[in-house]
Chain A
Amino acid sequence: MNFLILSLIKAGVVAFVLMTTLAYLQWIERKVIAHIQLRVGPRRVGPHGLLQPLADVIKLLTKEDMLPSHVNKFFYFLAPFMAVFFALIAISVIPFGGDINIAGVKTAMQLTDLNIGVLFILGLSGMGVYGVALAGWASNNKYALLGGLRSSAQMISYELPMAMAIAAPLLMLNTLSFRQLVDAQGGYYLGFIPRWTVFQGPFPQIVSFILFVIAAFAETNRVPFDLPEAENELVAGFHTEYSSMKFASFFMAEYANMITVSCVATLLFLGGWQPLFPEQYGSKFIPTIIFVLGALMCFYHGFNPVRAFDRITLPVAGVVFLAVGAAFFAPVIGQILMPLFWFASKVGIILFLYIWVRGTLPRFRYDQLMRFAWTFMFPVAVANLFITGLLVALS
């Protein structure tokens, strides 16, 4: 098939999936936080609040788009655009699985494989600061300016340990292309320990993984590092003066950054789409078993309903789960779903960690945040890099 048409189709699919994930990530976040805090969360729009993201989108689109009179207009409009542009474009180098074969067309489950993919992501994350910093400055509001300043200082500081944490696994895997990174993590020690970077010799990168995840929290301005939008100090931080779709752009950028960073952590440290244990022990049955268990749970609660509408919604969800579980053994779809399952479940676990931390930890004070970056994370990252380099050189 024509390269151009194929690329357009893939771009469309990836963009659609990314947008849906963005919308539903927010639904999942609200639900999880609600259950952590012993509430039920959104459930008015659609069954179990499943149409809430759609309602939110309609609300944001139709809301009055205000333009404060005292802003620098050019940068005020440029800032949300920059934020969302650099956040969304990063997904183009993320691979979701190996090569697939549909009706004779062989293609990779990735938009494009750059041989400097890791550097590309780092560069984009560095450029993403401008959106936030400019939004704070152009709003001509002291709270927004403080938010923008905090954000840029924080992102510069945490970019260093983040880059150091990324460098250590790269030393071991010896490539900068995401696809080759994942290929280098294939295989098993002793037949069952996966050769993911967190387990791989000569120096398992567990420290590096933890550092990366912490730095990623700070880079995406999430709790406990959400100083730029600390609502009890700064109203809403850098996006105080934004409303409607411009506010939604910042929102989308934040969630897209979360997804990208989780994907990068998965690809660098958790072996991408490599299964947890080898196929001869039945790793290909795992997704079906999980979905069938989910379906059984839905059926059980559907026939012993707590709320009246559970009698209808839960069995329907159960049937959907059974269908998805069966699809893993369908001829063409199965080969797409299998790597996607392992990839998405690892990304999902990290995203869940984000939400879990948000529901658990309080916010840092600003001096604590800076001291933590420079006096703890940075030395540890350097030490980790040195040890890794030494062991790689010796082995």
Chain B
Amino acid sequence: MDAILFLLFATIAVVCAVNLVLQKHPISSALSLVGVMGSLAVLYLLLGGEFIAMAQLIVYAGAIMVLFVFVIMLLNAGTEQRTKRHLWASYAGIPLIAASLGLGAYIIQRALPSTEGVKFGGFQGGGAYEIGKKLFEVYVLPFEVTSVLILVAIIGAIVLASKEVN
């Protein structure tokens, strides 16, 4: 059952990701990204990270992507224009991507020590309680630094977006 669900949602994630690149209209691309986020949430859930799964759904699929779609709709972005591709890109593009992905996978498999395979549902401690405890006891400094970083980004965005005041 777990394996079937994994294969199903992994396939959906990959298909949506490919579709995201292939679609010409920004709304279709954005919704494909929602599909990727949603199926990733299911994959987290299969692994036992229930809190992360729901955070993925609420924050990424629910809030950030809604903003994306909102902005695309507001700006009324049309279908993108296809330019004439470079000769290299049209013939060697896909083989080169496959080759680089294969090379990357090979290097990672060689460089990292082999471990046991992931067991579905074998991971305990993905609940809100455990994550909160870890976040505020072990990883409190990185957590706070990240929040300051996001604050910096927000202030930067406001400064950039606000009009010049004389």
Q: Does A119 contact B (CB under 8 A)?
A: yes
A68-107 contacts to B (CB < 8 Å):
75
B41 vs chain A, min Cβ distance (A): 8
Q: Which residues of B contact A205 (CB under 8 A)?
A: none
Contact check, A116 vs B73: say whether CB atoms are below 8 A apart.
no
Given A115-B50, A115-B127, A116-B50, decide whether A123 and B58 contact each other with a Cβ distance below 8 A: yes
Whether A123 lies near B63 (C-beta < 8 A) is no
Q: Across the interface, which residues of B come within 8 angstroms of A149, CB to CB?
A: 70, 73-74
Within 8 A of B (CB), among A124-148: 125-127, 129-130, 133-134, 136-137, 145, 148
Complex interface bits, B1-45 against A, C-beta within 8 A gives 1, otherwise 0: 000000000000000000000000001000100100010010000
Whether, in the assembled complex, A34 has its beta carbon less than 8 Å from a beta carbon of chain B, the answer is no
| B41, B55, B128, most chain A CB atoms within 10 A | B128
Q: Report which of B27, B63, B128 forms a contact with A116, defined as CB distance below 8 A.
A: B128
Looking at B38, B55, B69, the one whose CB has the most chain A CB atoms below 10 A away is B69
- Once the chains are docked, how many angstroms separate the CA of A56 from the CA of B50? 41
- The answer to whether residues A119 and B70 also contact, given A127-B62, A156-B63, A176-B128 and a CB cut-off of 8 A, is no
Q: Give Cα A153–Cα B66 distance, bound, in whole angstroms.
A: 9
Is B46 an interface residue, CB under 8 A from the partner? no
Closest residue on chain B to residue A129 by CB atoms = B66
Q: Contact between B70 and A130 (Cβ–Cβ < 8 Å)?
A: no
CB distance from A217 to the nearest CB of B (A): 19
B69, A119: Cβ atoms closer than 8 Å: no
Task: From known contacts A116-B127, A126-B57, A176-B128, infer whether A133 and B69 are also in contact, taking CB-CB under 8 Å.
Answer: yes
When A137-B27, A148-B73, A149-B73 are in contact, do A116 and B51 touch as well, CB less than 8 Å?
Answer: yes
CB of A130 within 8 A of CB of B73, answer: no
Instruction: Find out whether the CB atom of A152 lies under 8 angstroms from the CB atom of B66.
Output: yes
Known: A75-B27, A116-B127. A122 touches B69 (CB 8 A): no
Cβ contacts under 8 Å, A137 to chain B = 27, 69, 73
Chain B interface (Cβ < 8 Å from any Cβ of A): 27, 31, 34, 38, 41, 50-51, 54-55, 57-58, 61-63, 66-67, 69-70, 73-74, 127-128
Return the 4 tightest CB-CB contacts between A and B, nearest first: A126-B62, A123-B57, A119-B54, A123-B58
**Assuming A123-B54, A155-B66, what are 5 further A-B pairs, CB within 8 angstroms?**
A126-B63, A127-B57, A129-B66, A133-B70, A149-B70
- In the assembled complex, 26 residue pairs joining A and B whose CB atoms fall closer than 8 Å, in A order, are A75-B31, A116-B127, A119-B51, A119-B55, A123-B41, A123-B57, A123-B62, A126-B58, A126-B62, A126-B63, A127-B61, A129-B62, A130-B69, A133-B69, A133-B70, A134-B31, A134-B69, A136-B73, A145-B73, A149-B70, A152-B69, A152-B70, A155-B66, A156-B63, A159-B63, A176-B128
